[in-house]
A and B are shown apart, each in its own frame.
Chain A
Amino acid sequence: MQMEASWNLGKLLTVFVVVLTVFGVLPLFLGRFQVVLVTEALILGVYALSFDLIFGYAGMLSFGQSIFFGVGAYTILYSFKGGLGLAVSLLLAVFVAGFFGLLVGGAIVRIKGAKFFLVTLVGSILFYLLALDNRWLTGGSDGMVVPTVFPGLAENYYLVLGVSVTAILFALILVRSPLGLVLKMIRDNERRAGLLGYSLKKYKVITFTIGGGIAGLAGGLYAYTSGFVSAGFFHWTRSADAVVWTILGGAGTVVGPFLGAALLTVVSDILSAVVGNIYPVVVGALLVLAVVVFPRGVFGLLEGTIRNWKGDSGG
């Protein structure tokens, strides 16, 4: 976080342009399969970012992001069935999931700490069970096919890239806005923020709503690009994924969730080719390691390395 303060706008812009260019020309150098992989990693990065805003910036350890991911995905399904276009459908996914975020956030905002984790975990279990039980609406565990014409891999990739960049820019602006600063203060010292007269509940609910909306966007993109939705979109393991990616990548940074999602998508892909079921073991071990040894994630490690290079003592 000290890093963010020391980065001026010029540097940030340069890095941004370079990264964007690299991602822009990437499909020219990758095979079909890798393009799909990168597309998926980007969507999952957006999803992880939604958790990071809630946890990394506002300090709420939510295991309920899959609720909004699922709601977004099903919004896309029904919006397409209703004959709406892609752009409108994605916007709708954001708003419907955001509305769910508002409802859920409003209900649980009083709860704190480990209890917050429990309540959101039970929430995502509950939504999953409801999705399983209401087959007429969700298709249960067999799922439903999203009625869309497949536009092509490259088109999908650029769509997802565009949405990801928008989400990143939005998050960067958000965390530097007055709202973002208040959130950081709530995370770091809730009591002081309360004493200074900030309505903690209001800010927390706003964050939960925004996080829900972004998770819904990711869910919608996922449903659109894979052409399929099922009750499994709501499963708590999907909530856990967002948590793991963010912690490993670096919580409280905008880039961290993307790093984590990309890294684990690649690791999962490599491991599944080598040994069948070893992936969860590796992820569990990495998470324990991250928590105990490098709680600031891969981004934190990188940041430290860069600083050592420069011989930069302060920041």
Chain B
Amino acid sequence: MSKLAFGLLNGVVWGTVLALLSSGLNVVFGLMGTVNVAHGSLYMFGAYLAWICFSFLDSFWLSLIVSPLAVGLVGVSIGFLLKPVRKDPILTVLGTFGITILLQGSTLVLWGGTPRRVPLPFDSTFSLFGTGYSFYRIFVALVSGLVLYCLWFLVERTKFGLRLRASREDPELSSAIGIPVFNLFLLGFALGGALAGLSGALIAPLVSLTPEMGLRIFAIVFLIVIIGGLGKIWRSVVVAIYFAVFRGLASIFLDSTKGLILTFSLALLVVLVNPSILGRSSANANGS
């Protein structure tokens, strides 16, 4: 019973962070039709920045500002770099995949392949069925939830969001009525990068950091966005929590590798058999 409660709570916490990360990909892919394969590496980069803030500036908290800003800047640079090919989905996948290799390789050169750890910024716990549960995890879930709410508000309730959605629906018409489509494209990349950076910084104290941490999580996050539906932030949250809870419970009752295999297989099955299981996601996807 305690295992189950533990797994559920952990799943919800991980799910909200995954949702935050996937929302960054969603802004770029779902709202702009461009797949940024480097999104996972941006997250990795954000996590390493948290480690740097902790090790060299002696303040983990600083990274919650530094990571989103710095990684957002990297995001903008990627947008600039890909300007010539941004209308070709295959070339953008290949280009951002190149950036993934580049970022991963640079991290390896700069900070080595040995796993890095960031200690918990506060180590108070509360008791949950006899085991201690860290408050920091709750903090992570709360921050993620808050940022997700702000993002939803930005995309669905502001003029900026309206323009973003318009330029995705019909770039030519949008540009004709005076929406600066390319600037929005860059802003979308900045926003996506900032969200990846923030997720990376938040998660840094909970995992061990390696240069390879980016691509597997990219696959997970991309699955979440596809299953949840492009451009749908709240649906991705639900799918992300499902995903994390399922994986958490599977890892507890099987083992970590088997749990991951089961989760990936199930997610793949959903994508293959019924891509529109949660509504009109496939109708959107085919357009891009």
Contacts and interface: CB of A to CB of B under 8 A. Distances in A.
Residue among B90, B113, B216 with the most chain A CB within 10 A? B90
Interface in A62-121: 107-108, 110-115, 117-119, 121
A111 B35 CA distance: 16
B102 interface: yes
Q: Is the interface of A mostly helix, strand, loop or mixed?
A: helix
B90 A61 contact: yes
B202 to A, nearest CB: 24
Interface stretch (A146-154, A211-219, A285-293): A285-293
A129 B260 CA distance: 8
A291 B94 contact: yes
A284 B105 contact: yes
Q: Is the interface of B mostly helix, strand, loop or mixed?
A: helix
B261 A281 contact: no
A280 B226 CA distance: 29
B252 interface: no
Interface string A268-294: 000000010111111111111111100
B271 interface: yes
Contact of B264 (A114, A129, A247): A129
B243 to A, nearest CB: 13
Interface residues of B, number: 46
Contacts of B29: 114
Contacts of B219: 118, 121-122, 125
Interface string B100-141: 111111101100010000000000000000000000000000
B226 A115 contact: yes
* Interface pairs A-B: 8 shortest CB-CB: A280-B105, A284-B102, A287-B98, A284-B101, A288-B98, A281-B105, A291-B95, A114-B35
Interface of B: 29, 35, 37, 81-82, 84-85, 89-91, 93-95, 97-106, 108-109, 113, 215-216, 219, 222-223, 226, 257-258, 260-261, 264-265, 267-268, 271-272, 275, 285-286, 288
7 contacts: A61-B94, A111-B275, A121-B219, A122-B223, A281-B102, A281-B109, A290-B98
